[in-house]
């Protein structure tokens, strides 16, 4: 049974129309939280309908939900999004930096634009969101910032210098920010997932995926709900004394 330990809290989850972000939104709502579901609409994609579906699932659990469009690489759009969430819910207690992309290639062939886009979404996007929420969390002397890093930040991975650097950057951001705001009642933590069964991982070539799974001590991919459970814990009052931590959720892949 899920404890409703997040009753009365509100959360913003970036990239929550699908994958791990969607599981986090649903898990936080199950815990009693109102949730804002961020998605992107641009020339290449529009996940408004998927985000609305997640919102309806949240509302069916008796919680408030809102969808908010914003590209996390755009600071102005992020600031507008955060203000809209605060206006709607009255406050923002929990930020989950989940939005992320991969553009894999060995360094030899890595195009600068693929370096820039991965750093831009994964790392700079997390900075933008943290920057946009920090003043109101400081004023209220409470808050949770949880960012989704990756096992790749810790172990490295061939073909992922851009992704690994962006996720290692998230860990550096997390630890420094944790120190800056520790006395303000705000905790800042990261989660380092291993290989989780989402579109991002299903896009891997089949053979590479099979090899990856064979190397996981638990012998299987993780599920988005495994990451969502870790987020729910770090967001809860029970985790009040945990900050600057990187929680691995990886089936033993990297210890």
Q: Which residue ranges make up the site for ligand NAP (CB under 6 A)?
A: 14-15, 17-21, 38-40, 45, 47, 71-73, 98-101, 121, 125, 148, 150, 193, 195-196, 198-201
- CB-wise, 186 or 228, nearer to ligand NAP? 228
Contact between 98 and 149 (Cβ < 8 Å): no
- CB-wise, 35 or 40, nearer to ligand NAP? 40
Rounded Cα distance between 149 and 245, Å, is 11
Least distance in angstroms from the C-beta of 14 to ligand NAP: 5
Least distance in angstroms from the C-beta of 199 to ligand NAP: 4
Q: What is the CA radius of gyration of the chain?
A: 17
- H helices present in 75-190, as ranges: 75-89, 112-118, 125-140, 151-155, 161-181
For the question of residue 163 being annotated catalytic, the response is yes
- CB-wise, 38 or 243, nearer to ligand NAP? 38
- CB-wise, 187 or 250, nearer to ligand NAP? 250
Rounded Cα distance between 44 and 42, Å, is 5
> What residues have CB less than 8 Å from 244, skipping those under 6 apart?
174, 175, 178, 179, 182, 188, 189
Least distance in angstroms from the C-beta of 49 to ligand NAP: 11
Least distance in angstroms from the C-beta of 31 to ligand NAP: 19
Closest CA to 73 of 113, 112, 123, 36: 123
Indicate which residue of 39, 163, 241, 254 is catalytic.
Answer: 163
Rounded Cα distance between 47 and 15, Å, is 10
CA-to-CA separations, 101 to 73, 109, 121, 149, in angstroms, rounded: 12, 18, 7, 11
Least distance in angstroms from the C-beta of 121 to ligand NAP: 4
Rounded Cα distance between 107 and 158, Å, is 9
- CB-wise, 118 or 186, nearer to ligand NAP? 118
Rounded Cα distance between 178 and 182, Å, is 6
Give the residue numbers annotated as catalytic, written as ranges. 163
């Amino acid at each position: 049974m899920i404890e409703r330990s997040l009753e009365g809290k509100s959360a913003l989850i970036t990239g929550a129309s699908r994958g791990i972000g969607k599981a986090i939104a649903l898990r936080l709502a199950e815990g009693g939280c109102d949730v804002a579901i961020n998605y992107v609409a641009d020339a290449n994609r529009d996940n408004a309908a998927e985000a609305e579906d997640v919102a309806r699932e949240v509302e069916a659990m008796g919680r408030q939900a809102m969808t908010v469009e914003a590209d996390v690489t755009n600071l102005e759009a992020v600031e507008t999004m955060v203000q809209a969430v605060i206006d709607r819910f009255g406050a923002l207690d929990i930020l989950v930096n989940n939005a992320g992309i991969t553009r894999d290639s060995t360094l030899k062939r890595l195009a600068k634009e693929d370096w820039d886009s991965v750093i831009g979404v994964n790392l700079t996007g997390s900075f933008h969101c943290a920057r946009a929420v920090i003043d109101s969390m400081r004023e209220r002397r409470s808050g949770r910032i949880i960012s989704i890093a990756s096992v790749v930040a810790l172990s490295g991975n061939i073909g992922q210098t851009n992704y690994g650097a962006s996720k290692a950057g998230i860990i550096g951001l997390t630890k420094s920010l944790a120190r800056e705001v520790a006395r303000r009642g705000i905790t800042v933590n990261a989660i380092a997932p291993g290989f989780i069964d989402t579109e991002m991982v299903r896009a891997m070539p089949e053979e590479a995926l099979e090899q990856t799974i064979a190397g996981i001590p638990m012998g299987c991919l993780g599920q988005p709900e495994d990451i969502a459970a870790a987020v729910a814990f770090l967001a809860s009052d029970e985790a009040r004394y945990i900050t600057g931590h990187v929680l691995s959720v990886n089936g033993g892949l990297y210890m």
